[in-house]
Amino acid sequence: MFDALKNMFARHSAAAGAAKRVLNVGGSSKSIPLPRHFRDWEHLLLDIDPRGGADLVCDARTLRESEAVSAGSFDAVYCSHNLEHYYRHEVDKVLRGFLHVLKATGFAEIRVPDIGELIKLLAKLDLDLEQEIYSSPAGPITAHDMIYGLGTEIEASSQDFYAHKTGFSVDSLVRALRFAGFGEIFVGPPLAALELHVFAFRAASDAAQRAALDLGEPLAIEAPPAAPVACSPEADAVDALYQRARTACDGGDWTLAATLCHQAMALEPDLPALHYLQGRCRMEQEQYESAMQSFARCLELRPRQPLLGDTLAQQTECRARIHRLRGSQDA
């Protein structure tokens, strides 16, 4: 089966020649047009529901493990009103899947309901959840539809995957993209009512891409927490160990990274960035209780932003993993 799928994608590539490729994740049907900047691109549809004629019937949560889609094989991922259909703890897995299939110069274009602005609107106008917020081709859309998923679609399909399982404000979406590892993020104009529309580049955009997509200035994203300024041989050693630990962590060598963090903390026990990095390593090693202790210690040391926000996000994810693990053990 996987060989057949690979051959299909190879035929698509040969036919398209040098054409750029976009993977439309959760797009339902190719009859739904993509934005104009994709008009000359090869368009491949990935969807969990085969009824729309998807080129690849696949769960986006498994993109990194799928043998049917090669790493670095797409110039762009287009994901319109699909990311909200995953639980919050699954969003990172989906976004890392996008990174996996993107080329080094690629980007993800993502559209989701703007729940942050919806909440403000409901409060300002004193609206009920069941009141119509706007009209769409699918009919009237209520606040309940925006938060929980289009009720008529869920009822007609009897499929749970049409329900919304998380929601985003602009800050939380950007935070999720940063956490997943995207390098440069732009907020574009909404293409529908109460919508967030972002472009997230795997690394950085170039002038031609910014012109083609009509992008403004990228969001200012602070660099990862820096190691202490070296002012002594001991500080030099801590800095060297920290940088090696970060490199190991970025490469997925969690055991080496954790060991290097431990060595650095023996020299400098009160550096928040070390405890944060140690927590990440322990979480990836499924040592969740130890990871929670590391994140708690980092917070005790009062880190500044963005390390504070990153630590809180990791702590929340770790707590969710512990809850799921205990639930599966009880079952």
Assess whether 162 and 309 both reside in one domain: no
Report the predicted TM-score, pTM, of the whole model to 2 decimal places: 0.63
What Å distances lie between residue 87 and 132, 158, 207, 276, 322, CA to CA? 25, 19, 35, 24, 15
Assess whether 240 and 302 both reside in one domain: yes
Ranking 1-10, 96-105, 177-186 by mean pLDDT, the lowest is 1-10
Which range of residues forms the domain containing residue 62? 2-116+151-213
| Within a domain: 80 | yes
Assess whether 313 and 167 both reside in one domain: no
Instruction: Kindly state the average pLDDT of the residues 281-300.
Output: 92
Q: With bands split at pLDDT 50, 70 and 90, how would you rate the model's confidence at 48?
A: confident
Contact 320, 86 (CB under 8 A): no
Q: With bands split at pLDDT 50, 70 and 90, how would you rate the model's confidence at 220?
A: low
Assess whether 264 and 170 both reside in one domain: no
Contact 47, 70 (CB under 8 A): no
| Within a domain: 125 | no
How big is the chain by its Cα radius of gyration, in Å?
22
pLDDT over 60 (residue 229): no
Assess whether 165 and 296 both reside in one domain: no
Highest mean pLDDT (candidates 16-25, 28-37, 101-110, 226-235) = 101-110
Q: How many structural domains does the chain have? A: 2
Instruction: Kindly state the average pLDDT of the residues 151-164.
Output: 82
Instruction: Kindly state the average pLDDT of the residues 48-71.
Output: 84
Assess whether 158 and 306 both reside in one domain: no
pLDDT over 80 (residue 256): yes
Contact 295, 317 (CB under 8 A): no
Q: With bands split at pLDDT 50, 70 and 90, how would you rate the model's confidence at 102?
A: very high
What Å distances lie between residue 225 and 96, 155, 246, CA to CA? 21, 47, 10
DSSP 52-83: G--SEE--GGGTTT-SSS-TT-EEEEEEES-G
pLDDT at 218: 81
Q: With bands split at pLDDT 50, 70 and 90, how would you rate the model's confidence at 230?
A: very low
The whole-angstrom separation of Cα 328 and Cα 246 is 32
CATH code assigned at 92? 3.40.50.150
| Within a domain: 137 | no
Residues of the chain with pLDDT > 70: what percent?
89
Assess whether 38 and 167 both reside in one domain: yes
pLDDT over 50 (residue 155): yes
Count of H-run helices and E-run strands, the chain: 12, 9
| Within a domain: 168 | yes
| Within a domain: 85 | yes
Q: Give kind and range of the element (H or E) at residue 113.
A: strand 102-113
Q: Which of 269, 268, 248 is nearest to 257 (CA)?
A: 248
Q: With bands split at pLDDT 50, 70 and 90, how would you rate the model's confidence at 234?
A: low
CATH code assigned at 322? 1.25.40.10
| Within a domain: 128 | no
pLDDT at 267: 87
Instruction: Kindly state the average pLDDT of the residues 12-33.
Output: 77
Integer distance in angstroms from the first to the last C-alpha of the chain? 33
Query: For 183-198, what is each residue's pLDDT tens digit?
Result: 899 999 888 888 999 9
| Within a domain: 223 | no
| Within a domain: 68 | yes
Who has greater pLDDT, 14 or 207? Answer: 207
